[in-house]
Amino acid sequence: MKKLIGRFLVVLILIAVSSAALELGLRLYLQVTDKPEISLIKFSSLMEKAWFKPHPYLVYVFKPKNQFALNKFKPSTVTINRFGYRSTLEFDVTGVARQPGTLRVATFGGSTTMGVNSDDEIWPYLIGKNLS
């Protein structure tokens, strides 16, 4: 049994060393050849094009006032309002007095709440539309 565990550990170490050598070799090749069609993406240029930004307490938050296509299989537009939320509404709810009979619904969640469809096909929008 000890012999089998020893062989397994040797194989794991060989895989790790081979992977590290391959990674270093590829990085060196890209640095030396300086081919424009193959290059490492710099983090700063990636973040300029991204539709999200780093956050000190969360992993990321959406960039305010942004539109992007999320679903590559079906053309759709995702709208992020000026407050950083997925919505096409642009009014400040803290400064707007709620009229009697007005219902406000906020949804919180992860990827299922965000959705991958266009703004008028996600479930929070459909709930608001059906309640109004």
> What integer is the mean pLDDT of 68-78?
75
**pLDDT of amino acid 22:** 94
- pLDDT tens by residue, 90-122: 666 666 677 787 777 778 888 788 877 777 888
**pLDDT of amino acid 95:** 67
Residue 22's CB is within 10 A of a number of other CB atoms, namely 10
**pLDDT of amino acid 15:** 96
Rounded mean pLDDT of the chain?
Answer: 80
Between strands 78-80 and 66-68, the pairing is antiparallel
**pLDDT of amino acid 93:** 62
Asked whether the beta carbons of 115 and 122 are under 8 A apart, the reply is yes
Kindly give, in sequence order, each residue whose CB lies less than 8 Å from that of residue 95, ignoring residues fewer than 6 positions away: none
